[in-house]
Structure 1
């Protein structure tokens, strides 16, 4: 399935970025639902020579994700403030599990599963990494502080800086350029991987507590999820690596 693509890389690869669904106020609109994403994602794609397009959660595309991916050369499952519905992995909500959006969950899970089948280069960021893990059958810790005993992965209203240890020879290492084996990252999350999904491998961990920080599918041209926010760091090579991977991508026709 190539969705109309010929297999020839575009001059400017089209990169779909999933939108967060948030309640916002602006102008005369008060407390309205909006599909938004940080411009940092689009700027990172533009710097890498790609064409960013926003993907808004909707039921028809969740039911037929192949059409949603048809015009894309790569996919970013973005982060966001809302947590994934714990019912997806058989749990009741933790008191700290907030702002669940089942429509967004269903949409993004469908996109990842279709991208897996199609061989479409895909990067999951923070919440998006958790989506990738669930799409492969994994589970989550609903509130990491209960597990690791600290809040160093998240500060309210800002990003935290820490280091991750990246597995040598992994896609995570190649995509970040982490030649030293470690990468300085920016994060803001309170959930994380508990059980790694079948077909995925954990290829980066936080140096401070060994929390899983990256998962990847070695059988896929580029299926990578990271728990940090590369779009917030202009030095990061990750999104550029995703865009570059489209030059060598072989999607199912």
Structure 2
């Protein structure tokens, strides 16, 4: 079914946020349903997803394995060729395919997916070479992007010479090369050890602060979702659906000791309760 453009509402188990803000929406989903297969074998993976992401917001999607978190993210990215995506889904008024081709959005995966035969700098430069001038010009050189993510001096190293955290920084630098307005992140820190993961949380916020991008992050970590996000979308499975929409009303910048506050713990408790109640 073709995608349509239209206004979407952010959903909440309490009071749904309105959409009459003067600030335009960046990403809109309304009543999105994702179906795999046809006829008697059709499986409804996701049903009735409503979400609004505004410019420079960070929204996390959390839920148990199999609830459809990554499926929603891939629908936004236009990476579900074998599925029927029904409902209204747009990125700055464009279809996902149009937004991706025009460089409005990019994606960071759990696996950095770096070309092993290319240096860190050459991997970061790849989007510029692939676009052949069809997208917006990069604001920084590949070397400057590596400096932004804390890898100055690592330009000529190959992926095998980098740690897991360093490879993920290269992946992030590459994703930001074309100045995307929407950055999609699918469990980007899931393979990292706890210490490195905590460091990357702070680093992501620092790097995001230098951009104009909105971020939609899929994660299994409640701590990660609360620390990074303005809002957390909580999903349940069979089929995938929204059960809560939690606002993290904590000013930025956020430091690591925010994770020890009573307010942080209370937000975590609400999300955990929503997950357990709707398992």
Shared topology, TM-score over 0.5? no
Structure (1 or 2) with the larger CA radius of gyration: 2
TM-score (norm: length of structure 2): 0.28
TM-score (norm: length of structure 1): 0.30
Q: Going by fraction, where is helix more abundant, 1 or 2?
A: 2
